[in-house]
Amino acid sequence: MSDGTFILEMKGIDKAFPGVQALDKAQLRLRAGSVHALMGENGAGKSTLMKCLFGIYRPDAGEILVMGRPVRFAGPREAMDGGLSMVHQELNQVLKRSVMENIWLGRFPKRMGFVSHREMYEKTRAIFDDLEIDADPRTPVGRLSVSQRQMVEIAKAVSYNARILVLDEPTSSLTNEEVEHLFRIIVKLRENGVGVIYISHRMEEILKISDEVTIMRDGRWIDTEAASNLTVDKIIKMMVGRDLTQRFPPKTNVPGDELLVVEGLSGMYPPTCSDVSFTLRRGEILGVAGLVGSRRTELLETIFGIAHRAKGRIIKDNRPVNNKNSAQAIRSGFAMLTEERRATGIFAGLDVTFNSVIANIASYKKYGFLSGRMMYGDTKWVVDSMKVKTPSQRTHIRNLSGGNQQKVIIGRWLLTKPDVLLLDEPTRGIDVGAKAEIYQLIINLASEGKGIIVVSSEMPELLGISDRIMVMSGGRAAGILDIKDATQEGIMRLAAKYV
């Protein structure tokens, strides 16, 4: 447990970008042997503060002390050598290389000038045994589940013997059982004197695992409190600067005629969905629940045509649909928001305009050339209607917060005028204020007559916005519940049906 010593102090940190004051006198103090939660809406400055700590950004003003000594790291490698390590929300691994190679990349153990795979294996095995991680160090990372890959990144951070560990949304891809495993690892690290900075939007987790909580808003430090003194409502009020009494907006959509029929749908290449049947009505929000590995994402990908269909029928507006790729799906009136926003959703190195218009690019051709005026107009519509916070249309989308990136992608798909929206984890890694805006967007779109399928790992979210909930288990549809009959316990029973 904490001995009261501050092993990290960040004081008066300023950082400005063109048109944006990202940090304004921000501060953070971390004690040895404690878990310190860092909270705030997307765009509050959490990521920018951590990038200043790790030398990715150079602060315009302020002071950083590690173990009582002033530091100004030139980059992440220097920070790691200085006793800091970070597990990022968006995994950045070499998928074709083994687990142990990913952990020791850039610092392979050597014997007589050659890489010692035996020593590398033994060191990795020792860390895995200590952390109770069940994975073969020789397995290529690409064969692991997202949750296993997350655990590998945590093991890599531990391998640096870091005194300060930053975990950025570490549970976004984990099951409840895996979250408990992660918490056991954090408790062990805390007992060994490691200071942990825990960034998450899941408030129940924050209150369970943290010793102290720092709240940021608009780049500024708002308050630091003992977790024992806080409640979910108090955290929300400090984060958004107002009471957020209604987590989920009132339902204004009214399901109408049958829009989509899926009969006996199975994917071609396992692991995938198997013999799934359901219907979707105009103006309906159909939630899809299930445990990690239940093939919810694979179901959406098969409907959208980016995963091959082995058998089954998809009927839209009483006509058979044969989506063999995403282009055909778009022409058929489908749109899909993918689960991994940074990997398969945004073009990180390009601007808001490109990210807004790319799915609809053919419509901007005029006399063989792309019309800048038309693209500007549609991007303005996306920014205004989705309430995207951005300095300009020319801002690189990677510089926007996660919630604003998600709004741009939703706007991109709306420009294609879809009838059916497939939304895979639409609020993952997004703060409570932005979540409320996304929920309102989904309900508004359903009210306009669109059919919406929402995959989510958060049961309160599904219970809050859905009209019906289909539960997936082992790749199959285990049951469909009307929202008035749905409970978390009932959903969990169905989720375990074919496991």
For the purposes of burial, counting CB atoms within 10 Å of the CB of 18, is it exposed (0-12), middle (13-18) or buried (19 or more)?
exposed
Ramachandran region, residue 62 (left: φ > 0; alpha: ψ -120 to 50; beta: rest): left
Residue 347 has pLDDT above 70, yes or no: yes
Q: Is this prediction's pTM over 0.85? A: no
Output b/e per residue, 319-341; b: 16+ Cβ within 10 A: eebebeebeebbebbbbbbbbeb
- The reported pLDDT for the residue numbered 3 is 54
Q: What type of residue is 384?
A: D
- The reported pLDDT for the residue numbered 224 is 95
Give the tens place of pLDDT for each residue, 218-251: 889 999 999 999 988 888 788 777 555 567 889 9
- The reported pLDDT for the residue numbered 169 is 80
For the purposes of burial, counting CB atoms within 10 Å of the CB of 118, is it exposed (0-12), middle (13-18) or buried (19 or more)?
exposed
Domain ranges for the chain, please list them: 6-240, 258-495
Q: Please report, for residues 230, 289, 379, 472, 499, the alpha-carbon distance to residue 487 in angstroms, rounded to integers and kept in the order given.
A: 27, 12, 40, 15, 20
Report, as an integer, the average pLDDT of 178-201. 89
Q: What type of residue is 376?
A: Y
Distance CA 487, CA 498 (A): 19
Which band of pLDDT confidence, cut at 50, 70 and 90, is reported for residue 419?
Answer: very high
Report, as an integer, the average pLDDT of 398-418. 88
Enumerate residues 6+ apart whose C-beta is below 8 A from 351.
Answer: 393, 394, 395, 396, 397
Residue 481 has pLDDT above 90, yes or no: yes
- The reported pLDDT for the residue numbered 241 is 72
Is the fold of 6-240 the same as that of 258-495?
yes
Q: Are 193 and 7 in contact (CB under 8 A)?
A: no
Report, as an integer, the average pLDDT of 189-217. 90
Q: Which two tokens mark 58?
A: 């150079």
Residues shown for the chain: 499
Residue 427 has pLDDT above 90, yes or no: no
Residue 17 has pLDDT above 90, yes or no: no
Highest mean pLDDT among 169-173, 261-265, 395-399: 261-265
Distance CA 212, CA 230 (A): 10
**Short-list 323, 345, 343, 342, CA closest to 334:** 323
Distance CA 340, CA 14 (A): 31
Q: Which two tokens mark 399?
A: 């510089």
Q: Are 303 and 334 in contact (CB under 8 A)?
A: yes
CA angle 109, 97, 91 (to 5 degrees): 100
φ and ψ at 149, to 5 degrees?
-60, -35
Mean pLDDT for the chain? 89
Map tokens 């447990």 to a residue: 1
Report, as an integer, the average pLDDT of 108-119. 89
- The reported pLDDT for the residue numbered 1 is 47
Report, as an integer, the average pLDDT of 45-73. 93
Report, as an integer, the average pLDDT of 425-429. 82
Which band of pLDDT confidence, cut at 50, 70 and 90, is reported for residue 437?
Answer: confident
Give the tens place of pLDDT for each residue, 254-264: 999 999 999 99
Distance CA 47, CA 170 (A): 14
| CATH architecture assigned to 6-240 | 3-Layer(aba) Sandwich (3.40)
Q: Per DSSP, which regions of 290-370 are E strands? A: 309-316, 319-321, 334-337, 365-366, 369-370
Q: pLDDT: is 437 or 432 the higher one?
A: 437
**Short-list 37, 350, 25, CA closest to 166:** 37
| Cα dihedral across residues 299, 301, 304, 305: positive or negative | negative
Q: How many other C-beta atoms are found inside a 10 Å radius of the C-beta of residue 437?
A: 18
Enumerate residues 6+ apart whose C-beta is below 8 A from 63.
Answer: 9, 10, 11, 12, 70
- The reported pLDDT for the residue numbered 432 is 72
Domain 258-495: homologous superfamily in CATH: P-loop containing nucleotide triphosphate hydrolases (3.40.50.300)
- The reported pLDDT for the residue numbered 105 is 87
Residue 431 has pLDDT above 80, yes or no: no
Q: Which two tokens mark 189?
A: 């690290």
Residue 175 has pLDDT above 60, yes or no: yes
Distance CA 414, CA 311 (A): 29
Distance CA 106, CA 108 (A): 6
